[in-house]
């Protein structure tokens, strides 16, 4: 195929300096093909979030090369980076990060507003995305009127509404209960099945079991890269997704 | 992303926090309104003072005895109890003094010289209606021009009336209404302390006297000998009003008058004079500078209130942006360009500042309709521009600067900001 969606070469990230220096990433090299579904696992403090923030162009690496769709991110200026974040990347945060006092619909429309999509098309696409995450009946609600699971689904809708090449999720289910976790994973599985490239961080094996590939980080280094299903096939758990997860199962 | 879109974001941002938006607006509003109102009242006071000085007549010198003997407009406070000058030489002003001053050889800068005898409170009676005139002036016809008192209906008295000591009088508006109501007083008889006078003219209304407590329209002017014959007797003059030929000759007129009077009263260059000269021009200058200080003080108070308002705006704007740094981070993470974020915050600040500023101007406009303590406020356009400019400027700078700083952060830094 064409260039991989993600290509990292020897990425390092050092926080602070002197005695307080923390080497969060110590040379990560990684390639993610289009349509892959990757789960990143590792102990707390192993550098998962650091890696994810670099992938999402929210932070810059201390050294190393990072390409998205063959474009070297390090060479982009502020304006191009904003366009890249807007068009190519959908980011789902552990803490949802919806904008307060704005309705679910407005939150989902926001990336398209910055992307210059017309108001009517924005409305249609936002409603479609909200329907996709099963929140058609909550479009007028503001974040503080939604449950955690619902907020995360709004965040997922916001991330996927621009049809980004890459969907990144940092512990999207970290703050959710089993039922809500199931809902979000179901959506992600569906997106993967539809061919979207997904990278997510998780602590839970159950969540990682949904991915086609599992990467383990220890102290800022990739120590294990394990494929569970082929890149161009469906996600491993997708077949069972037709039935809902039994409630309360761990 | 269109401008309209950014404006919509800004409005939504403001609506999302109504109380804070309201308080910011209020701060700007008070600052702007206070500045405009204070300056307007200062200006109003200063103009009203200037006007009442101008009403006294332009280019005139008023000579009066410096030891009692009936100062201009005041009741005669006889005697020289606190006189500290060379008492033996102290002399009253006389008609002869006035005549000497009228000599164009000696006082070439004088256009006219009007001797004045004035008494406070003379009772006027007409058909049962009675009124106490607060100022009765006996003088020459030139007095009208020198003291800027035009006649509205009827006529002035002329030199013939003076020579013949005719009992005619020109009355002020207040006297006319008190005695005649709406009827035309010209040609009517009025008795002053029992002596009948014929009203021949009514003075033009000089307007409210502003800060002065005395009503400048409560006046009657009669030929000098008429008042001397019937009321005061042929004694000293209260004052002599000398009108200079022009604005630039008042000083030379004053010097000439001084020379003549010094000679007539036998005052040596080292001795202290037994008269004083009130120069309208110097008075105006003195009062102007006093009023200037007064206006400056008001301006300082206004500036402080603007400063305090500005600090309020600064505070709220800084808090707003700091508090919303996380929101800025979210917006950046989903691909907002820096310009859009900055534009939104700048617009929010602009809308608040303009809203507050314009409402402040509006309130100031309404406020200046009211007369407070006799002062009619006068709007000063530059104060409006200054107040609006400063408050909007402060709003924009302190809304824009931290927003720009936040918009420059990497998304993750802004997101981590707590
Ligand atoms: N802004 C920062 N400044 C300094 N050190 C940081 C910063 N962010 C992260 N670190 C350090 O970098 C290391 C990796 O952090 P990171 O957040 O990537 O861990 P993580 O794998 O996401 O952990 P968790 O599973 O708890 O979320 C940690 O040791 C952390 O202390
Ligand atoms: Mg983390």
Are A8 and A220 spatial neighbours (Cβ–Cβ below 8 Å)?
Answer: no
For residue B110, list its beta bridge partners.
Answer: B244
The DSSP annotation for B160-182 comes to: HHHHTT--EEEE-HHHHHHHHTT
Please give the pLDDT value at position B87.
45
How many Cβ atoms from other residues are within 10 Å of residue B130's Cβ? 13
Please give the pLDDT value at position A14.
94
How many Cβ atoms from other residues are within 10 Å of residue B315's Cβ? 13
Are B225 and B240 spatial neighbours (Cβ–Cβ below 8 Å)?
Answer: no
DSSP B375: B
Please give the pLDDT value at position A221.
94
The DSSP annotation for B314-374 comes to: HHHHHHHHHHTHHHHHHHHHTT--HHHHHHHHHHHHHHHHHHHHHHHHHHHHHHTTS-BTT
Query: What share of chain B in percent tops pLDDT 70?
Result: 90
Q: What is the mean pLDDT of chain B?
A: 79
- Tokens encoding A58: 């929210």
pLDDT: is B313 or A58 the higher one?
A58
Helix (H) or strand (E) holding A78: helix A78-88
Q: Are residues A85 and B327, on separate chains, in Cβ contact within 8 Å? A: no
Please give the pLDDT value at position A84.
92
The ipTM of this complex is 0.89
Asked if A82 reaches chain B (Cβ–Cβ under 8 Å), the answer is yes
Q: Return the exposure string of A153-175: e unless at least 16 CB atoms fall within 10 Å of the residue's CB, then b.
A: bbbbbbbbbbebbbbbbbbbbbb
Indicate which ligand has the atom closest to the C-alpha of A41: 1
Q: What residues in A contact B326, CB-CB < 8 Å?
A: 97
Please give the pLDDT value at position A243.
46
CA–CA gap between residue B103 and residue A171 (Å, rounded): 108
For residue B412, the ligand 1 atom closest to its alpha carbon is: 1
Q: Are residues B410 and A59, on separate chains, in Cβ contact within 8 Å? A: yes
Q: What is the dihedral of CA B391, B394, B396, B401, to 10 degrees?
A: -170
- Distance from the Cα of B417 to chain A's closest Cα (Å) equals 13
- Distance from the Cα of A247 to chain B's closest Cα (Å) equals 33
Asked if the A6-240 domain carries CATH number 3.40.50.300, the reply is yes
Q: Which residue of A53, A89, A98 is in closest CB contact with B412?
A: A53
- Domain ranges (residues) in chain B: 3-52+286-416, 56-280
- Domain ranges (residues) in chain A: 6-240
User: Range with the lowest mean pLDDT among A179-183, A243-247, B194-198, B261-265?
Assistant: A243-247
pLDDT digits (tens, 9 = 90+) for A219-249: 999 999 999 888 888 888 765 544 444 444 4
pLDDT digits (tens, 9 = 90+) for A101-138: 889 999 999 999 888 888 899 999 999 999 988 889 99
Model confidence, pTM = 0.67
CA–CA gap between residue B28 and residue B36 (Å, rounded): 12
């Amino acid at each position: 195929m064409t260039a991989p969606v993600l290509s990292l070469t020897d990425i390092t990230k050092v926080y602070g300096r002197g005695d307080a220096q923390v080497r969060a990433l110590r040379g990560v090299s990684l390639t993610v093909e289009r349509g892959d579904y990757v789960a990143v696992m590792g102990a707390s403090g192993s550098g998962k979030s650091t890696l994810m923030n670099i992938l999402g162009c929210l932070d810059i690496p201390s050294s190393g090369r990072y390409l998205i769709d063959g474009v070297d991110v390090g060479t982009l200026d502020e304006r191009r980076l904003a366009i890249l974040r807007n068009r190519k990347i959908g980011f789902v945060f552990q803490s949802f990060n919806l904008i307060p006092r704005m309705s679910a619909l407005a939150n989902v429309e926001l990336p398209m507003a910055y992307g210059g999509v017309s108001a009517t098309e924005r409305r249609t696409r936002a409603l479609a995305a909200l329907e996709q995450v099963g929140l058609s009946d909550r479009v007028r609600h503001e974040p503080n009127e939604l449950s955690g699971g619902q907020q995360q689904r709004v965040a997922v809708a916001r991330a996927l509404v621009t049809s980004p090449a890459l969907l990144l999720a940092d512990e999207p289910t970290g703050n959710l209960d089993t039922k809500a976790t199931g809902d979000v994973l179901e959506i992600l599985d569906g997106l993967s099945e539809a061919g979207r490239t997904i990278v997510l961080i998780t602590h839970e094996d159950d969540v990682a079991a949904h991915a086609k590939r599992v990467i383990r980080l220890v102290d800022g280094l990739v120590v294990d890269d394990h494929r569970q299903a082929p890149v161009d096939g469906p996600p491993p758990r997708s077949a069972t997704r037709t039935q809902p997860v039994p409630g309360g199962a761990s | 992303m269109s401008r309209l879109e950014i404006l919509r974001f800004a409005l939504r941002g403001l609506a999302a926090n109504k109380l804070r938006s309201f308080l910011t607006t209020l701060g700007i509003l008070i600052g702007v309104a206070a500045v405009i109102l204070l300056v307007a009242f200062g200006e109003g006071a200063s103009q009203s003072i200037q006007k009442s000085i101008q009403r006294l007549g332009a280019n005139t010198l008023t000579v009066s005895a410096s030891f009692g003997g009936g100062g201009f407009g005041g009741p005669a406070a006889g005697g020289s109890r606190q006189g500290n000058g060379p008492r033996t030489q102290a002399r009253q002003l006389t008609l002869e003094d006035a005549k000497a001053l009228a000599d164009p050889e000696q006082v070439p800068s004088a256009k006219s010289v009007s001797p004045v005898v004035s008494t406070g409170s003379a009772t006027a009676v007409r058909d049962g209606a009675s009124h106490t005139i607060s100022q009765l002036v006996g003088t020459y016809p030139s007095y009208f021009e020198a003291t800027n008192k035009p006649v509205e209906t009827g006529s002035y008295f002329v030199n013939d009336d003076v020579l013949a000591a005719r009992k005619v009088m020109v009355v002020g508006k207040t006297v006319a209404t008190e005695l005649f109501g709406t009827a035309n007083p010209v040609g009517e008889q009025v008795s002053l302390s029992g002596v009948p006078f014929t009203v021949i003219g009514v003075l033009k209304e000089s307007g409210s006297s502003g800060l002065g407590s005395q009503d400048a329209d409560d006046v009657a002017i009669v030929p000098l000998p008429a008042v001397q014959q019937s009321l005061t007797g042929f004694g000293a003059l209260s004052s002599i009003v000398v009108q200079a030929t022009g604005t630039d000759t008042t000083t030379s007129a004053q010097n000439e008058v001084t020379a003549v009077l010094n000679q007539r009263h036998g005052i040596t260059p080292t001795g202290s004079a037994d008269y004083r000269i009130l120069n309208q021009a110097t008075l105006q200058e003195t009062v102007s500078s006093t009023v200037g200080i007064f206006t400056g003080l008001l301006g300082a108070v206004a500036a402080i209130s603007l400063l305090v308002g500005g600090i309020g705006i600064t505070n709220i704007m800084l808090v707003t942006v700091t508090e919303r740094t996380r929101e800025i981070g979210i917006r950046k993470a989903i691909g907002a360009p820096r310009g859009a974020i900055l534009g939104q915050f700048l617009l929010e600040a602009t809308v608040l500042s303009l809203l507050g500023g314009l409402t402040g101007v509006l309130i100031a406009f309404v406020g200046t309709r009211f007369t407070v303590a006799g002062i009619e406020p006068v709007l000063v356009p530059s104060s409006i521009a200054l107040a609006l400019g400063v408050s909007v400027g402060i709003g924009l700078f302190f809304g824009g600067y931290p927003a720009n700083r936040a918009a420059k952060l990497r998304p993750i830094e802004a997101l981590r900001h707590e």
